[in-house]
Amino acid sequence: MGKVISLLNHKGGVGKTTSVINIGAAMVELGKKSLLIDLDPQANLTLSLGATRPPQTIYEAMRGESELIPLPVKENLDVIVSTLDLSGAEMELINEAGREFILRELLSPLREEYDFIIIDCPPSLGLLTLNALTSSDYVMIPLQTEFLALQGLAKIKQVIQKVKLRLNKGLQIGGVIATMYDSRKVLNRDVVETIKKYFGDLVFETMIRDNVALAEAPSQRKDIFDYSRNSAGAEDYLSLCKEILVRVERFEEMAVKGGVRE
């Protein structure tokens, strides 16, 4: 059964959507079949991949009007597209019974078809994000290596812990991804050290370097591997995904042994 990973940070501009796209694409490079889910009403993931809006998007599915319908991006990489209409979903679903579990039920028939399902969460901690966390095996936190990015970390961790306690006991923090990293900047190095003190070995060794190709790829509606295969961005995301695969395997072994990490 495929693993569901949410990328979450309620601060915008930290490289969350870029990471969702390129982790999915890197998994394909490593022989895995991936599904990307755009759960953000801003639909940046959808726009970055150049996906055209079908009659049924994540919005219609969340409202119970359709199933989730994946659109092919390229071989072994599909996407569930979003739309601005999704911004009204939280109010529309507020009185829905079991509203926190809508996405989990929608994903259930798809988990056998993919190795990884990767969710791009909105930059908020509302109902849509709650649905993502309730659906996920792992949550990963992309974190820009700047001072302001450290603000709100305690809140993110608190929300994850509450969801684990009340709604999804299998949820785990899969890792913290340092993004937009420049080793020449003292501030960037200091922020990484602070993150490591807070999250320990949950911080991935691979850091996503500040790389112009990563910023340019969405304008061409491509992932980093199709846009610039030899760039630092492609190298970093491939290395990160190798780490993710090792870590997921280790977590699964711990779960079998009854030692699931809190």
Residue 120's pLDDT is what? 97
- Top pLDDT among 27 and 12 is at 27
Q: Residue 179: count other Cβ atoms within 10 Å of its Cβ.
A: 23
- Top pLDDT among 202 and 154 is at 202
Residue 258's pLDDT is what? 72
Beta strands 71-74 and 77-80 are: antiparallel
Note the CATH number of domain 3-256: 3.40.50.300
Segment 10-15 mean pLDDT: 86
In the predicted model, is pLDDT for residue 259 greater than 90?
no
In the predicted model, is pLDDT for residue 262 greater than 70?
no
Cβ neighbours of residue 231 under 8 Å, at least 6 residues apart? 211, 213, 214, 224
Q: What is the pLDDT of residues 115-163, one digit of tens each?
A: 999 999 998 889 999 999 999 999 999 999 888 777 778 888 899 999 9
Decide: 13 and 1 in contact? Cβ < 8 Å: no
Domain ranges of the chain: 3-256
In the predicted model, is pLDDT for residue 173 greater than 80?
yes
Q: What is the pLDDT of residues 88-124, one digit of tens each?
A: 988 899 888 899 999 999 999 999 999 999 999 998 8
pLDDT averaged over every residue in the chain? 93
Decide: 65 and 59 in contact? Cβ < 8 Å: no
- Please give the helix or strand (H or E) that residue 35 lies within, else none: strand 34-38
Segment 76-85 mean pLDDT: 96
Decide: 178 and 208 in contact? Cβ < 8 Å: yes
In the predicted model, is pLDDT for residue 196 greater than 60?
yes
Residue 234's pLDDT is what? 98
**Residue 81 banded pLDDT, cuts 50, 70, 90:** very high
Decide: 16 and 36 in contact? Cβ < 8 Å: no
